[in-house]
Amino acid sequence: AHLDRIERFEPSIHAFLHRDPEATLAQARAIDQARAAGEPLGRLAGVPIALKDVLCTRGVPTTCGSRMLANYRPPFDATVVRKLNEAGAVIVGKVNMDEFAMGSSTENSHFGPTHNPWDLERTPGGSSGGSAAAVAAGFAPLALGTDTGGSIRQPAAFCGIVGLKPSYGRVSRFGLVAFASSLDQIGPMSRSVADAALLLNVIAGADPRDATCVDRPVPDYLAGLNDPIGPDRPLKVGYVPEFLTDGLDDRIKTAVDQALQTYRELGAEIREVHLPHTRIGIAAYYIVAPCEASSNLARYDGTIFGHRAADWSPASPGEEELSPTVRMMMASRAEGFGAEVKRRIMLGTFALSAGYADQYYNKALKVRRLIRQDFDQAFEQVDVIVGPTTPTPAFRLGEKTDDPLAMYLSDVYTITANLAGIPGLSLPFGLTTERLPIGVQLLAKPFDEPTLLRAAALLE
Ligand code: GLN
pLDDT in tens, 269-287: 999 999 999 999 999 999 9
Please identify, by atom number, the ligand 1 atom nearest to the C-alpha of residue 418: 8
pLDDT value at residue 406 = 87
Q: 100 C-alpha to center of ligand 1: Å?
A: 9
What pLDDT, in 10s, does the model give residues 68-121?
999 999 999 999 999 999 999 999 999 999 999 999 999 999 999 999 999 999
Task: Give the pLDDT band (50/70/90) at residue 125.
Answer: very high
Structure confidence at residue 243 (pLDDT): 95
pLDDT, residue 343, reads 97
Percentage of the residues of the chain whose pLDDT score is greater than 90:
96
Residue ranges of domains in the chain = 2-203, 308-333
pLDDT mean over 435-456:
98
Q: Is 396 helix (H, G, I), strand (E, B) or coil?
A: strand
Segment holding 92, helix H or strand E:
strand 90-95
What number is the average pLDDT over the span 252-281?
97
Q: ipTM for the complex?
A: 0.98
104 classed as catalytic: no
**Full-model pTM:** 0.98
33: Cβ contacts below 8 Å, ≥ 6 apart? none
User: 138: exposed, middle or buried (C-beta count within 10 Å: 0-12, 13-18, 19+)?
Assistant: middle
Residue 298: band (very low, low, confident or very high) from pLDDT cuts 50, 70, 90 = very high
Q: Is 332 known to be catalytic? A: no
What burial letters (b/e) apply to 52-81, b meaning 16+ CB within 10 Å? bbbbbbeebbbbbbbbbbbebebeebbbbb
Please list every protein residue whose CB sits less than 6 Å from any atom of ligand 1.
101-104, 127, 147-151, 179, 289, 411
HSE-up (13 A, CA, CB side) for residue 131: 37
What is the reported pLDDT for 390? Answer: 97
Residue-level pLDDT at 315: 83
Q: What is the pLDDT of residues 333-343, one digit of tens each?
A: 999 999 999 99
Say how far apart CA 208 and CA 79 lie, in whole Å. 10
- Please work out, in degrees rounded to the nearest 5, the angle formed at the alpha carbon of residue 454 by the alpha carbons of 385 and 382: 30
**Pairing mode, if any, of strands 384-388 and 142-147?**
unpaired
pLDDT at 135: 98
**Ligand 1: distance of its center to the CA of 295 in Å?**
17
* pLDDT average, residue stretch 216-228: 96
CA distance 105 to 156: 12
Q: How confident is the model over 377-434, as pLDDT tens digits?
A: 999 999 999 999 999 999 999 999 999 988 898 899 999 999 999 999 999 999 999 9
For domain 2-203, say whether CATH 3.40.50.10420 is its number: no
Question: What is the spatial distance between Cα 16 and Cα 232, in angstroms, rounded to a whole number?
Answer: 46
From the candidates 151, 294, 410, 426, which is the catalytic residue? 151
Average pLDDT over residues 177-185: 98
Average pLDDT, the chain: 97
Which residues, at least 6 apart from 91, have a Cβ–Cβ distance to it below 8 Å? 23, 24, 27, 48, 49, 50, 51, 57, 81, 84, 85
Q: What is the pLDDT of residue 246?
A: 81
Q: How many Å apart are CA 217 and CA 199, to the nearest integer?
A: 16
Q: Give me the mean pLDDT over the 179-191 stretch.
A: 98
Q: Which residues pair with 388 in a beta bridge?
A: 440
Contact between residue 27 and residue 90 where contact means Cβ atoms under 8 Å apart: yes
**CA 98 – ligand 1 centroid, Å:** 9
Is residue 275 within 8 A of residue 416, CB to CB? The reply is: yes
Q: What value, to the nearest 5°, has the Cα angle with vertex 239 and ends 234 and 245?
A: 170
Length of the chain: 460
**DSSP designation for 228:** P
